[in-house]
Structure 1
Amino acid sequence: MTHSSPDTSHAPVHTGPSVDTRRWAALALICVAQFMLILDVTVVNVALPDMAADLSLSREALTWVVTSYTLCFGGLMLLGGRLADVLGARRTLLIGLALFTAASLACGLADGPTLLLGGRIAQGIGAALLSPAALSIVTTTFHGQERNKALGVWAALGGTGAAAGVLVGGALTGGPGWQWIFFVNVPVGLVVLAALPAVVAARAPQPSRLDVPGALLVTTGTGALIYGLVEAGNSGWVSLPTLLSLAGAVGIYGTFAVVERASRAPLMDLGMFTRRPVLAGAFLMLVATALLISYFFLGSLYLQHVRDFSPLRTGLVFLPVALATGIGAHTGSRLVGVVGSRTVAVVGLAVAAAGTVPLTRLSDTGSVYASLLPGLVAASLGVGAVFVTATTTALAMIEHREAGLASGVVNTFHEVGGSIGVAVVSTVAASGFRQGTVGGFTDAFTLCTVAAAVGAALALVLVPQGKPRMTGAPHVH
């Protein structure tokens, strides 16, 4: 995505410490807003059983509670980046934050699946506006070493948000109720909305075309794909609704490719996928996100459906899993400069596959801490390293001028990967949802094992050899 440049003719002139104070205060507020977006990817997982009981949600509806948010977040993110250029980054950020805050209130007030899913879709749209605009402000406000520090803080939000999501979700669901996983966003959002204009200067918008058809096509295509994957759990893989949805997704993606090639200002430069580093980074991000979100989704429902864990206890079980993801990311960031991206990606996915193997033999008895937890910790450690490798491969092995486009592509695959992963494992684990038995869950974890192993084999061929060189480009969340 492109970034707006400062409107120096209108921006107030400040000197001395006040400039630093405004910049870092702006970063703090922007990071709080971004943290809410990341939190809402995982915060719902622990609350799903309580939501299902209160609102009479089916397995399909539960799946869409997770995927509708990430689908709109990822599918519309590139359009959000363009809107930040057209409207100005600050204005786009405030619009996105206002929409996300209002949608959070609607989700908390939901008395049925319609309002809840509508609110989740609106949350995703707000996030797609907010996130790229916020990153644009960070990259244009800070320069040199300060920019590297600011982007380091930004990148750290991803793992921290995932960790906080399961803990906050468990604590709030087990305390005042699942509604508060959404209500908590409202006062925070209002405070940030009130404070941001004072510390973030308005930037001059840049004339730019908006590829609205492209954004609608890629989001609709992914929605059709996810609907087909979810429907397969009810009707079967060869049923007419499943086949029509999957075929429709293929057709819409084909139309998207045609529209993008013909557009004078395409939403996504499909030529980026001819660059091996970008293709490899997008693939790794898709697989890593699909695996990690699937672990949270399956693990949360297994613990509460099969093992009768409370939401709070479930959240606490996932604390070491979230920490392992962060440790894996930190370790991977150090190793990529020593042994290269390919080695870290292959080993990370192999570790994820090995860690998931014990989960294929779960039972409805025995200690969760001796069966589920060690496997999830090991698998998440490997996935964490793959996240970093995906980012460095896509952004550090291409020209600096193309890093913004590559960042947008990888960000999109981050969100879409979570949607697809949850849709697939939900379908495979359908019997476990309906009957409260362990069989469906072990089948789904078996699929995760195979996916990680196949991913490791493909990474051996797809990921370029060599050590990455950093461009100073934006990082994915």
Structure 2
Amino acid sequence: MSTDTHPSALGRASAWALPVIAAAQLLMVMDGTIVTVGLPNIGRGLAMTDGDLNWVLTAYALTFGGLLLAGGRAGDLFGRRRLFRGGLVLFTVASLLGGVATNGGLLITARALQGLAAAVIAPAALSLLADAYPPGPGRNKALGVYGAMGGLGSVAGLLLGGALTEYLGWRWIMFVNIPIALAVLAGTAALPAGSRQRGGVDVPGALTVTLGLGSLVYTINRAGSHGWDDAVTLTTLAVAAALFTAFAVIQRRTRHPILPGAVIADRRRLGANLVMFLMGGGMLATFYFLTLYMQAVKEYPPMLTGIAYLPMAAAIGIGSGVIGPKLQAATSTRTLTAIAMAVATAGMAWFGLLTPDQNPWLVLIPAQAVVGAGLGMGFVACTIAGVRDIPPHNTGIASGLINTSQQIGGALGLALLAGLATTVTTSHATTTTVHEALTHGYTTGLMAGALTFLAGLIVALYTLREDRGGR
């Protein structure tokens, strides 16, 4: 192994290292949801159909999640700080391109480029954090802060997106990234250069898995409107299956796979990623359904919609920054994850009581707080379990896999649950009012999200072994 920084420098974190890394993670995750509240305005401004608007969200999630493993490997090989900086430059350029987009195709392309940049930045950030903080309570605390950004970033995107859309216009959803990315770029001087490894990047593997995921998401979206017996739906499903098969073959035969078997051979690490996958699916669907409920049923303007997410933002911060670390120090990762998923499941079930004319203080606000607390604790537990005890040469891959699980879970979960909600809404459209039909659909999707979190609880109980005190 070679390194581009002196070994003694590793593990001595600058006071600015954690804020810089946390800010980068916040920016990457925030951009996954910042466009959500502004989608109606984007559609009107660029004459985009609802089907095209879905890809404004999906393009980012797919390239981010699908290329994260390759991005993590590239950081291991070419230098984590170097890749971190390059990714920030690309993210800045892509944000500018999205802000000046004159049609939907250009905006979707910009979102895909943002996802590509995020796929480089996110795993490099987590690996640099591991380089900067030696194993122990200090690293666990830093990982807790980093993990919290996964939840806070999503909610912050909704809050900021609502404010910018209402007062400055949807293009500022893109432009706001530029000063933040440049500030993080300036702060990279506080980061260690990070260790480097020898080997290669599995480009064929990265392309096949990303295209396979894109085909699968397209298949699920199309099936929701055309059915599973539609010829195009079946064709794209077959294409997705072929691409995933090719990916599996490539991983067996290539010298430098983007997903080495050793990384997921550990049952705890595999379990942590499965739970993160399920959390990502339930969480993104929650934001999607609640945003539509507030705007289409309650008729909240964008700014009020964003403000309405404050209870969830506060609860995620408390769960990840206070409750999660305390429980992690006192109990096992398995127990903490199980508690987190149980709390999140209860909150999601509470959303099932939403009605068109309901006082928000009865369900919308308190249920958000419960779900947020559960997600906050879950991010801490899964992040720690996902990178603990990983060999140095696989740190970037393990870091990328955590983010991959969340992003891909979000893309697939949203596609499935949105399709379910649409079907339920359509079935009620002829017998109830529009608002009642929509609410039926949204609450059904939210209840399905509760089952997703419940599945995470079951996975945690069966895969995460006991390890008290975060050791």
Verify the 8 A CA contact 1:96 1:130 in the aligned structure 2: yes
Q: How far, CA to CA, are the matches of 1:426 and 1:368 in structure 2?
A: 23
Which residue number corresponds to residue 475 of structure 1? none
> Aligned-pair distance for 1:406?
3.4
Q: 2:94 aligns with which of 89, 94, 103?
A: 103
Distance 1:47-1:157 versus aligned 2 partners, 3 A rule: same
Which residue number corresponds to residue 464 of structure 1? 465
1:316 aligns with 2:316: no
- The secondary structure found in structure 2 opposite 1:46 is coil
1:389 aligns with 2:419: no
> Aligned-pair distance for 1:384?
2.4
Which residue number corresponds to residue 303 of structure 1? 294
Q: How far, CA to CA, are the matches of 2:125 and 2:454 in structure 1?
A: 36
Q: How far, CA to CA, are the matches of 2:16 and 2:372 in structure 1?
A: 33
Specify the code of the residue in structure 2 equivalent to 1:95.
G
Alignment of 1:54-69 (within 5 A): 54-69=45-60
Verify the 8 A CA contact 1:342 1:465 in the aligned structure 2: yes
1:47 aligns with 2:44: no
Alignment of 1:73-152 (within 5 A): 73-141=64-132, 151=143
| Farther-moved stretch of structure 1 (232-241 vs 25-34) | 25-34
> Aligned-pair distance for 1:167?
1.7
Q: How far, CA to CA, are the matches of 1:209 and 1:358 in structure 2?
A: 48
Specify the code of the residue in structure 1 equivalent to 2:116.
I
| Farther-moved stretch of structure 1 (315-324 vs 206-215) | 206-215
| Farther-moved stretch of structure 1 (349-358 vs 228-237) | 349-358
Verify the 8 A CA contact 1:49 1:304 in the aligned structure 2: no
> Aligned-pair distance for 1:381?
2.1
Which residue number corresponds to residue 273 of structure 1? 264
Q: How far, CA to CA, are the matches of 2:443 and 2:21 in structure 1?
A: 40
Q: 2:420 aligns with which of 404, 428, 432?
A: 428
Q: How far, CA to CA, are the matches of 1:319 and 1:30 in structure 2?
A: 23
1:449 aligns with 2:447: no
C-alpha distance after superposition, 1:317-370 (max 9, x if no partner): 111012212223342332244342333333332332222223234222222232
1:363 aligns with 2:355: yes
Which residue number corresponds to residue 408 of structure 1? 400
1:343 aligns with 2:335: yes
Q: How far, CA to CA, are the matches of 1:387 and 1:204 in structure 2?
A: 26
CA RMSD of aligned residues (A): 3.2
Q: How far, CA to CA, are the matches of 1:115 and 1:348 in structure 2?
A: 40
Which residue number corresponds to residue 157 of structure 1? 149
Q: TM-score, normalised by structure 2?
A: 0.86
C-alpha distance after superposition, 1:408-451 (max 9, x if no partner): 32222122112112222222233659966323212211211222
> Aligned-pair distance for 1:141?
4.8
Aligned residues: 459
Which residue number corresponds to residue 328 of structure 1? 319
- The secondary structure found in structure 1 opposite 2:357 is coil
- Give unmatched runs, 5+ long, in structure 1: 15-19, 471-477
| Farther-moved stretch of structure 1 (429-438 vs 355-364) | 429-438
C-alpha distance after superposition, 1:279-338 (max 9, x if no partner): 211111011121112111111111111211011111111110122122233423322443
- Give unmatched runs, 5+ long, in structure 2: none
Q: How far, CA to CA, are the matches of 1:377 and 1:415 in structure 2?
A: 22
Alignment of 1:166-177 (within 5 A): 166-177=158-169
Distance 1:353-1:204 versus aligned 2 partners, 3 A rule: closer
Distance 1:150-1:328 versus aligned 2 partners, 3 A rule: closer
> Aligned-pair distance for 1:148?
6.2
| Farther-moved stretch of structure 1 (286-295 vs 242-251) | 242-251
Which residue number corresponds to residue 255 of structure 2? 264
Distance 1:81-1:457 versus aligned 2 partners, 3 A rule: closer
Distance 1:390-1:198 versus aligned 2 partners, 3 A rule: closer
Q: How far, CA to CA, are the matches of 1:216 and 1:261 in structure 2?
A: 16
| Farther-moved stretch of structure 1 (150-159 vs 368-377) | 150-159
Distance 1:105-1:238 versus aligned 2 partners, 3 A rule: same
Q: TM-score, normalised by structure 1?
A: 0.85
